[in-house]
Amino acid sequence: MTDLAWMKTYIGDEAAITSHLSAEEFGAFERLRRHYWQHGILPDDDVRLMRITGVDPDRWEAVRSAICSLFDDGWRLPRLDIEREAAAEKREIAIDRARKGADARWRRNASSNAPRMLEAMPKAMLEQCPPAPAPAPEDSALGRKEDNLALTHTREPNIMTMSLAEAQEHLRKTGALADDEFGGL
């Protein structure tokens, strides 16, 4: 398999050589081209070619006869060979340039890179994320926790979870219900 992630397609040229193909035949040809691009070769085995193209065995002979004229002997595509070679050369050049750029950046003064980073990072961190002000003593976490606990102990009871008698008693104590309401229940 190749590391060539993309393949040039010349739309005009492709249309000129494939315009006589049906959709099924064109799809088979295109799948063979992509397999050829990835692997640099096509198998000379009809069963494997059918599997690559996804064409049913009962249709393979018709599809094969329609597309075989687009290939050279041995299912070769010379134009694709040229394109693969050019793409591989470009890829190697790009890899070499990237490697040289990384070397120039990181290996030039490799021993001095680390100390400079040690000095720069804390300063940059302080500029981007200044420290939060220290809390006042009365605003401590423990004080806030105690305040929250005190609030939970003084909350009103939930009358929706009480029995009718408990709810009436609670409402009478808070003055929200008169003694004579609900018929003195």
Domain span including residue 178: 136-185
Q: Which helix (H) or strand (E) holds 134?
A: none
Do the Cβ atoms of 52 and 35 come closer than 8 Å? yes
Neighbouring residues of 22: CB distance < 8 A, sequence distance ≥ 6: 66
* Residues 7 and 29 grouped into a single domain: yes
Do the Cβ atoms of 158 and 144 come closer than 8 Å? no
* Residues 74 and 11 grouped into a single domain: yes
Domain count, the chain: 2
Neighbours of 40 (CB within 10 A): 15
* Per-residue pLDDT at 178: 73
Which residues of the chain are under the pLDDT cut of 70? 1-2, 108-121, 123-124, 126, 134-156, 179-185
Q: Which helix (H) or strand (E) holds 26?
A: helix 23-39
* Whole-prediction pTM: 0.53
pLDDT digits (tens, 9 = 90+) for 137-181: 655 666 666 666 655 555 667 777 888 888 888 888 887 777 666
* Residues 159 and 173 grouped into a single domain: yes
- What does DSSP assign to residue 113? H
* Residues 32 and 16 grouped into a single domain: yes
* Residues 63 and 141 grouped into a single domain: no
Distance CA 185, CA 173 (A): 15
